[in-house]
Amino acid sequence: PPNPQPHHNVVSAVRVIEILSDGIAVLGVGIDTLLPPSSRRHPSSPTPLAVGDWVLVTPDPQSTTSTSTYPYKLHHILHHQTLIRRTAPGNSKHRKTQPIAANIDTAFVVSSCNQDFNVARLERYVAMAMDANVRPVIILTKRDLCELGEKEEGEAEEEESEEEREELREDLEWMKDYYLLQAKTIANGTVPVLLLDARGDEPQTALQPYLRRGQTIAFLGSSGVGKSTLLNSLGNSTLAATAAIHSDSGQGRHTTTRRRIFVLGESGDQGCVLDTPGLRELKLVDSKKGVEEVFGDLVAIAQKCKFNDCNHAEGTPGCAIMEAVEREDGTVDEERLERWEKLLEEERAMEKVKIRG
């Protein structure tokens, strides 16, 4: 229904729920409308509008009817409590900062239990969330790929021996344990990890502690990992389109093309959920804090190095990191060390490049 004719002296608080080509979709008490596209930037904020921002709007006196396309105009962008952002894709010398979402309480970092699982990518998402002071929770979906379903068991009984079926079960169990173990190594095991099937009622039960009035959850992850399926399960309806993954690579197809907030439950009593497109490129922005939290154990060891500017290279005298590696007692995993060093190298490179927000 059209918005009622507003009084021109009223200031209302609304939330940005989606940014479209023809305007900014906002939602508030008695307000569900578009702001003009020019509202993306405003003198009241140094950063462009992001989905999740709270803004103040006033009725536009030039809008003479309740059916006007833009009955309200932006008055002020309120300071966001959190802002998840990344470096915009591309190879320009002047890299721009791209806001992903504002005022997020918890980031569900989603990955699937298939060949597209990538612990380095998960570490980047977790670091991005931690850098924004957003609580990360890792969700591993497609658990059914690591289980022998009833139909598969029935088929196997006709074609395979009991020994072969047991071997298959053990292989699938090993895969499930592998994904869980890899995810639980992130941030030295301080990030909660949930393993579930994104379909059906399980997400409602497993994620209920995070779905409360006044809380906003953001789904982050690659295409095809089950973010939109999770959203549909939580909303008990088809809120977002879904598509099958590529069977050969396990990679997903882009079905979500824009960031959008959905209100769950009766009048938001289960909070809000932000669905996001998969990011093909994820480079962090000024992420020293987030990286240090994800690799806090390595940072603590590095502080024991003889030299403050130690590069942790093999043969470096007094390097506590290399000494830990050489002990081979599991204190330092070499692959994880390489991922940490790669992020540090990116951070140093970014410091040399002027980033425009």
Is pLDDT of 354 > 60?
A: no
Across the chain, mean pLDDT equals: 84
Position 114 confidence tier, pLDDT thresholds 50, 70, 90: confident
pLDDT band at 80 (very low <50, low <70, confident <90, very high): very high
**Helix 150-159 to helix 162-184 angle, to the nearest 10 degrees?**
140
Q: Who's near 132: CB < 8 A, 6+ residues apart? A: 82, 83, 84, 85, 104, 290
Task: Give backbone dihedrals phi and psi of 54, rounded to 5 degrees, phi first.
Answer: -100, 135
DSSP assigned state of 278: P
Most confident range, picked from 39-48, 147-156, 229-238: 39-48
Region 228-254: what's the mean pLDDT?
A: 62
Quick one: pLDDT at residue 284? Answer: 86
User: Per-residue confidence at 61, pLDDT binned at 50, 70, 90?
Assistant: confident
Helices (H), strands (E): how many in the chain?
A: 9, 14
Q: What is the pLDDT of residues 174-213, one digit of tens each?
A: 888 899 999 999 998 999 999 998 888 888 899 999 999 9
Q: How far apart are CA 184 and CA 239, in angstroms?
A: 30
Distances (CA, A) of 352 to 84, 128, 348, 349: 22, 20, 7, 5
Phi and psi at 268, nearest 5°, equal 80, 20
Please state, in angstroms and rounded to a whole number, the distance separating the CA atoms of residues 52 and 34.
15
Alpha-helical regions (H) of 40-149? 119-131
Give me the pLDDT at residue 151, please: 47
Report the distance separating Cα 33 and Cα 66, nearest Å.
Answer: 11
**Please, what is the end-to-end C-alpha distance for the chain in angstroms?**
37
Rounded Cα distance between 246 and 253, Å, is 7
pLDDT digits (tens, 9 = 90+) for 121-154: 999 999 999 999 999 999 998 877 776 655 444 5
In this prediction, what percent of the chain has a pLDDT beyond 90? 47
pLDDT at residue 252, rounded to an integer? 46
Read off the pLDDT of each residue in 291-303 and give the average, rounded to a whole number.
Answer: 94
State the virtual CA torsion across 304, 305, 309, 312 in degrees, nearest 10: -120
Over range 222-246, report the average pLDDT: 72
Which of 11-20, 36-45, 256-265, 344-353 comes out lowest in average pLDDT? Answer: 344-353
Q: What is the DSSP string of 158-197?
A: HHS-HHHHHHHHHHHHHHHHHHHHHHHTGGGGTS-EEE--
